[in-house]
Amino acid sequence: MSPLDVKLLRDLSRIRGQAIAILLVIAVGVLLQVMMSGLVASLTETRRAYYERNRLADVFAPVARAPDTVLSRLAALPGVARAEGRVVGAALVDIAGEAIPIQARALSLPDFGEAAFSAVYLTAGRMPDRTARDEILLLTAFARARGLAPGEVVRVTMNGARRTLRIAGLAEAPDLLFVGVPGEMMPDAARVAALWMRRSELAAAYDMQGAFNEAMLSLARGAREAQVIDAVDAVLEPWGGTGAYGRSDLVSDRFVSEEIDGLTTMSRAVPPLFLAVAASLLYIVVSRIVQSEREEIGQLKAFGYTDAEVGAHYFKLVLTIAVAGAALGCLLGVLAGRAMIPVYLTFYNFPFLVFRPDPAAFAIGAIASVAAASAGGLFVLRRVFALTPAEAMRPPAPSDFSKTLTLKGRLARLLDQPTRMVLRGIARQPWRTVALSAGVAGGMALASGMTTIYGSFERMMDLSFTVIDRSDATVTFTHPLARKAAYELARVPGVFAVEPVRDVPAVFRNRLNTHRGSVTGLIDPPELARAIGADLAPIPLPEAGIVLSRPLADILEIAPGETLTIEVREGRRPVLEVPVARVATSLIGAPAYMRLDALNRVLAEPGRISGARLRLDGARADAIYRALKDMPTVAGVSVARDARASLQKLMDQGAGSARYIMGAVAFIITFGIVYNAARIAHHERARDLASLRVIGFSRGEAGFVLLGELAVIVLAAIPVGSLAGYGLTFAIAAGFSSELYQIPAAFDPFSHGFAAAFVLGAALVSGWLVKRDMDRADLIAVLKSRD
């Protein structure tokens, strides 16, 4: 091995503490990059393959009841490649010991042959027998969550009739990648189900013999989706079509897309931030090493080493750290990505999902870290190369302190010598101090930003379930009923309060922006479910007009005062033009609120309600739910406590769980930065400190000079970092927010205090580590050493 390489290895082992700290910072930056982009690639590719293999339809067209003959007309439409009808129904699954029946979607399987669209993926058992009248497939996730297996029976209510059905097999389907609990949208495998039956059986149960209530179509090559949708709507209009929609409006697909988009946003924003911090750190350290080797560089040049050879030597040092960091990061990134896969399998019904790291991510991570690292070294090397060997070898002239700080008069008398050394040391190299301080501020920003986000998740839950919606349960009717249905609910013993609501499915349009959602009619003033302003005060609902939630207003790009087009997808299906009155804060979903009577007036359906929110006596909850179950008009009950638990689970184990990895990474980086700052400050002053010791200062006093400088760096960094962290919070919150829930960004004093305490703690530990080395150092060796 060449002597220069030997020198490299020995230098590396000499600075191993710092080298490892930088290596880790790079590694975690690359880890996030590899993990996030890998997840994006895996989810995107798996979804694409699943859709293709199991033939997800391009267009879905729900209809009240259309005879099978209409299908051929749909198939004949220009731009339609193929059309198939199926029967879809709402069902309730009774689980022994559960007061609340589980809401389920019942879907038809063709009597003969393969389904043209949404072919099921059998995970256990077999397909239902064509002749057995009571066999079903059950959604795998639900069966697993409830411990149900093929061969067992379940009690199901379909169209009001109770039946006992035998599970033939367990299955998944591409249009059920994401299944939300009706009325809540929360994914919760245990609280929402889907089942499949042979077409003729299901048609008999829902009065759909010879008819379908959902058409699925594929588009011909080159066909325009919007045109096909219009044509389909025209064909189905007489049969009670409620509006065809494309894949991107399929709830299941939309949520997966949201997830992928969120991950993509974060994978573009967060890892570069971490890599930038790593780069600046590496820059500081490498430039310091090169600076301190100025004389060695001069010598090498004197002996006839070329600039390129000397440069290569230091470049190798940088490269070793950067490549090792990037390699470790890639490895950890793949492991972390693999660890995240079960998370996605918990909330999305993928039949198969393998973490496939994105090769580009490896390359980007490695290149970015190496480039960042070399930039630091090269910048300083260039300055050293500009010197003649004679100049480089001459020890730098004693730093000129005469022009820095003149401490005179009263102030000077107050300051002892060590304090003056601290102040002069900082004043002599203000940029070094600023750079170190900026690094620590970056760490503080990451730490405070991430901690704030932890709090934001909690805050989102609290606001949603204690301020915005204060009900204990929500009852949904099978169809809109007269308002007196609410009074019936109120008569159930243990129900304290009943608040009627009317939810109407609708498509919102504002210029080119559309959103499929629903309008919620609330009584005036509502007590349980309310529209809340940014100040958390309830927003009074206007006489006419609609109050949109912030996410919906953002999707539609509409502001108060403008007029919104609402295409109602129920009943007479009127198209309404409604002024937007206010924008409300909302953290779950993207609701729109109107006054109940105003809504009914524009629908020309006075006095109708679609459900009610309840407050009830917790002790009698089970009896109440049993009573509700026996009411034929009740389609489903959703319990706030369960919804909250689902959301909590989603955020702790689902996509939100990435915040734990990011948080850990933020704190590792912060410590790495602070530790390096302490090391660098120490190297800069090692000789001064040893001289102090030699002339009789105690260890403590010498330590004070060192730690004093560190303290100044850290104390200056905290407010700056706190401010940057506040800004960062908004970016991270936006990344975590989805259509399902919004993570609010705010200044959280506790989080910033916590992060500041961590930075201070890291400074104390680093200071202690460095001081320990300093105390052990051989004074003579330090004084003799020329760096």
Measured CA to CA, the distance from residue 135 to residue 538 in angstroms comes to: 50
Site membership for another protein, residue 302 (CB under 8 A): yes
Is 224 one of the binding residues for another protein (CB under 8 A)? Answer: no
The CA-based dihedral angle spanning residues 290, 291, 297, 298, taken in that order and rounded to the nearest 10 degrees? 170
CB 139, CB 176: distance < 8 Å: yes
Tell how far CA 354 is from the center of its chain. Answer: 20
Q: Which residues contact 541 (CB under 8 A, 6 or more apart)?
A: 522, 524, 525, 526, 531, 547, 581, 593, 594, 595, 598
Kindly tell me which residue out of 4, 204, 328, 423 binds another protein, with binding defined by CB under 8 A. 4
Name which position in 146, 294, 301, 502 contacts another protein (CB under 8 A).
Answer: 301
Residues 526-585 within binding reach of another protein (CB under 8 A): none
Indicate the residue among 17 and 574 with the shorter CB distance to another protein.
17
Pairing label, strands 88-94, 192-198: unpaired
Q: Report d(CA 228, CA 217) in Å as an integer.
A: 10
Interacting positions 768-787 with another protein (CB under 8 A) = 781, 785-786
Which residue's CB is nearer to another protein, number 14 or number 382? 14
> Which among 730, 588, 735, 591 has a CA at the least distance from the CA of 647?
588
Any idea which residue has 């209409």 for tokens?
70
Binds another protein by CB under 8 A, chosen from 113, 303, 577, 696: 303
Backbone angles phi, psi at 242, to 5 degrees: -105, 20
Of the two residues 16 and 162, which places its CB atom closer to another protein in the complex? 16
Nearer to another protein, 36 or 318 (CB): 318
When asked if residue 406 is in the footprint of another protein (CB under 8 A), the reply is: no
Candidates 14, 16, 383, 626: give the one binding another protein (CB under 8 A).
Answer: 14
What is the C-alpha separation between 662 and 576, in angstroms, rounded? Answer: 45
Of 222, 304, 696, 749, the one binding another protein (CB under 8 A) is: 304
Q: Interface with another protein includes 72 (CB under 8 A)?
A: no
Question: Which CB atom, from 301 or from 515, has the smaller least distance to another protein?
Answer: 301
Decide whether 699 or 786 has the Cβ nearer to another protein: 786
**The one among 145, 393, 711, 764 contacting another protein by CB under 8 A:** 393
Tokens read off for 464: 């949603």
Of the candidates 306, 406, 466, 513, which one interacts with another protein according to CB under 8 A? 306
* 699 touches another protein (CB under 8 A): no
At what angle are helices 430-462 and 749-776 packed, to 10 degrees?
140
**In the 8-state DSSP scheme, what is residue 532?**
B
Least Å distance, CB 18 to another protein, is 16
Mind giving me the DSSP string for 79-125?
Answer: TEEEEEEE-EEEEEEE-TT-SSPEEEEEEEE-SSS--SSS--EEEEE
Contact range with another protein by CB under 8 A, out of 9-17, 47-55, 493-501, 657-665 = 9-17
CB of 691 to another protein, least distance (A): 19
Scanning residues 359 to 388, which ones bind another protein (CB under 8 A)? Answer: 388
CB of 21 to another protein, least distance (A): 20
Least Å from the CB of residue 785 to another protein = 7
User: Would you count residue 3 as binding another protein (CB under 8 A)?
Assistant: yes
Task: Decide if residue 307 touches another protein (CB under 8 A).
Answer: yes
In the numeric block, which tokens belong to residue 482?
């007269």
Count of residues that interact with another protein, criterion CB under 8 A: 28
Pick the closer one to another protein by CB: 10 or 572.
10
Q: Find the binder of another protein among 159, 292, 299, 657 (CB under 8 A).
A: 299
Which one of the spans 7-15, 179-187, 430-438, 674-682 is the region binding another protein (CB under 8 A)? 7-15
Question: What is the rounded CA–CA span in Å between residue 3 and residue 504?
Answer: 79
- 696, β-bridge pairs: none
Residue type, 691: S
Least distance (Å) between residue 386 CB and another protein: 10
Would you say 16 or 479 has its CB closer to another protein? Answer: 16
Closest CB to another protein among 423 and 782? 782
Residue 338 buriedness (CB in 10 A; 0-12 / 13-18 / 19+):
middle
b vs e for 604-642, b when ≥16 Cβ sit within 10 Å of the residue's Cβ?
A: ebeebbbbbbbbbeeeebeebbebbbebeebbbbbbbeb
Toward another protein, which CB reaches closer, 137 or 690?
690
Query: Which among 212, 217, 88, 211 has a CA at the least distance from the CA of 158?
Result: 88
CB nearer to another protein: pick between 94 and 295: 295
N residues, the chain: 787
**Closest approach of Cβ 687 to another protein, in Å?**
15
- Residues with Cβ within 8 Å of 162's Cβ and at least 6 positions away in sequence, in order, are 155, 156
If binding is defined by CB under 8 A, does position 10 make contact with another protein?
A: yes
Side-chain half-sphere CA neighbours of 149 within 13 A: 1
Q: Please, what is the minimum distance in Å from the beta carbon of residue 302 to another protein? A: 5
Nearer to another protein, 209 or 388 (CB): 388
Helix (H) or strand (E) holding 687, with range, is: helix 658-694
Residue (301 or 752) nearer to another protein, CB: 301
Give the count of beta carbons closer than 10 Å to the beta carbon of residue 209: 12
In whole angstroms, the minimum distance from the beta carbon of 295 to another protein comes to 7
CA-to-CA distance for 425 and 267, rounded, in angstroms? 40
309 binds another protein (CB under 8 A): yes
CB of 11 to another protein, least distance (A): 6
User: What is the residue type of 566?
Assistant: I
Instruction: Please state whether the peptide bond connecting residue 525 to the residue before it is cis, i.e. omega within 30 degrees of 0.
Output: yes
DSSP state, 147? T
CB of 400 to another protein, least distance (A): 14
Cα dihedral sign, 205-207-209-212: negative
- Six token digits for residue 776: 């052990």
Separation CA 534–CA 549 (nearest Å): 11
Give least dist CB 307 to another protein, A.
Answer: 8
Helix (H) or strand (E) holding 194: strand 192-198
Mask 116-155, x = binds another protein (CB under 8 A)? Answer: ----------------------------------------
- When asked if residue 320 is in the footprint of another protein (CB under 8 A), the reply is no
Query: Of 183, 246, 272, 389, which one interacts with another protein (CB under 8 A)?
Result: 389
In the shown chain, the binding pattern of residues 278 to 297 toward another protein, with x for contact by CB under 8 A and - for none, equals: -----------------xx-
Q: How far is the CB of 308 from another protein (least distance, A)?
A: 10
Using the minimum distance from each CB to another protein, give the nearer residue, 9 or 544.
9
* Dihedral sign of CA atoms 677, 760, 729, 268 in order: positive
Select from 224, 222, 202, 226 the least CA-distant residue to 212.
202
Stretch that binds another protein, among 3-11, 62-70, 121-129, 247-255 (CB under 8 A): 3-11
The smaller minimum CB distance to another protein, of residues 3 and 409, is found at 3
Nearer to another protein, 295 or 597 (CB): 295
| Shortest Cβ 310–another protein spacing (Å) | 10
Per-residue HEC secondary structure of 609-641 comes to EEEEEEEECHHHHHHHHHHHHCCCCEEEEEEHH
Which of these segments, 124-132, 302-310, 483-491, 545-553, binds another protein (CB under 8 A)?
A: 302-310
CB of 397 to another protein, least distance (A): 12
Residues near another protein, by CB under 8 A: 2-4, 6-7, 10-11, 14, 295-296, 299-307, 309, 388-391, 393, 781, 785-786
